[in-house]
Amino acid sequence: MQQTLRLRNNGRRLATHSVPDANLHIYASAREAARACGLRAAELLAKRLAEADFATLAVSGGSTPKLMFPVLGDAAIDWKRVHLFQVDERCVPPEDAQSNYRLIHAELITATGIPSENVHRIRGEMWADAAAERYSSEIREVLRIAPGLLPVFDVVHRGMGAEGHTASLFPGEALIGNGSGIAAAVTVPVAPHDRITLLPGPLMAARQTLTLVSGADKAAALQRVLSRKYEPFHFPAQIGTFGNQKAEWYVDSAAAALVRQS
pLDDT, tens digit (0-9, with 9 covering 90-100), for 59-95: 998 888 999 999 999 999 999 999 999 999 999 999 9
- pLDDT tens track for 21-45: 349 999 999 999 999 999 999 999 9
Question: Which residue, among 38, 60, 63, has the nearest Cα to 168 in the 3D structure?
Answer: 60
pTM: 0.91
If one compares 9 and 173, the residue with the highest pLDDT of the two is 173
DSSP 176: G
Given this model, what pLDDT does residue 14 score? 34
CATH number among 3.30.1700.10, 3.40.50.1360, 3.10.20.740, 3.30.460.80, domain 31-261: 3.40.50.1360
Contact present, 38 and 71 (Cβ < 8 Å) = yes
Angle of CA points 159, 163, 168, to nearest 5°: 50
- Cα–Cα dist 93/61, whole Å: 14
The phi-psi region of residue 144 (left if phi > 0; otherwise alpha if psi is between -120 and 50; otherwise beta) is: left
Please determine, for residue 1, whether its predicted confidence score (pLDDT) is greater than 70: no
- Cα–Cα dist 73/75, whole Å: 6
- Cα–Cα dist 206/255, whole Å: 24
**Band (102; pLDDT cuts 50, 70, 90):** very high
Given this model, what pLDDT does residue 180 score? 95
**Band (261; pLDDT cuts 50, 70, 90):** low
Would you say the C-alpha torsion 165, 134, 101, 78 has a positive or negative sign?
A: positive
- pLDDT tens track for 191-204: 999 999 999 999 99
- Cα–Cα dist 242/104, whole Å: 27
Q: What Cα–Cα distance (Å) separates residue 216 from each residue in 27, 30, 129, 159?
A: 13, 11, 35, 14
Contact present, 141 and 151 (Cβ < 8 Å) = no
Inter-axis angle of helices 65-73 and 30-49, nearest 10 = 40
- pLDDT tens track for 119-159: 999 999 999 999 999 999 999 999 999 988 999 999 999 99
Contact present, 119 and 142 (Cβ < 8 Å) = no
- pLDDT tens track for 205-245: 999 999 999 999 999 999 999 986 899 999 999 999 998 99
Given this model, what pLDDT does residue 21 score? 39
Distance from the Cα of residue 90 to its chain's centroid:
15
Given this model, what pLDDT does residue 198 score? 98
**Band (3; pLDDT cuts 50, 70, 90):** very low
Please determine, for residue 17, whether its predicted confidence score (pLDDT) is greater than 70: no
